[in-house]
Amino acid sequence: MESLHKRILEEGKALSENVLKVDSFLNHQVDPDLMYEMGTYFKKYFEAHKITKIFTIESSGIAPSVMTAMQMNLPMVILKKQSSKILKGDVYQTTVHSFTKDMNYELTLQKKYINEDDNILIIDDFLANGEAALGAARLVEGAGAKVGGIGIVIEKSFQPGPQLLKEKGYDVYSLARIAKLGKGNIEFVK
């Protein structure tokens, strides 16, 4: 996705070999036009997959997921990672380790938002070690539903997540694939 590559190069900041900051258009301030374009790419790739719902993990995956859901005319469900007094009882939960925050959290899905006939598209902002996507997939599969695909905005191809998800048989589609990061340096997979 050329426009995403351009924004990453112009506004993204490689803070280290593993950390890319894109808060000016994706995960703090959001560019709705860019999110809409992302939705068109995800729709085009996954439209033949017979997806029934789109899932994302709060919070940075919400904007591209909403735009994809609107274009595919499907419901979108946000998997919660903050504990809540109202999310008790009828839920699926799994523990996920956050690469960015270096901490564990409980990913939570209310049972009423999924059924065994669902074919779920999971969309997330980043793919690094694959923990978030694997956690979302565990919730989906634990409910007896199917993961129809995983859409990623920015994949760090040099980290283990992409290969791990593909080895587990998931159809992963990434809009931007980063080959290498270094302080002040961002290189895409060719």
Q: Is the peptide bond before 59 cis (omega within 30 degrees of 0)?
A: yes
Closest CA to 172 of 188, 185, 156: 156
Question: What size, in residues, is the chain?
Answer: 190
Which residues touch 33 (CB under 8 Å, ≥6 apart)? none
27 labelled as ligand-binding?
A: yes
176 labelled as ligand-binding?
A: no
20 labelled as ligand-binding?
A: yes
Q: Which amino acid is at 18?
A: N
129 labelled as ligand-binding?
A: yes
C-alpha span between 152 and 65 (Å, rounded):
10
10 labelled as ligand-binding?
A: no
132 labelled as ligand-binding?
A: yes
133 labelled as ligand-binding?
A: no
What interhelical angle do 2-11 and 32-46 show, nearest 10?
140
Which residues touch 160 (CB under 8 Å, ≥6 apart)? 129, 130
185 labelled as ligand-binding?
A: no
Task: State the binding site.
Answer: 20, 27, 128-132, 156
Task: State the binding site for 5-phospho-alpha-D-ribose 1-diphosphate.
Answer: 128-132
Task: State the binding site for xanthine.
Answer: 20, 27, 156
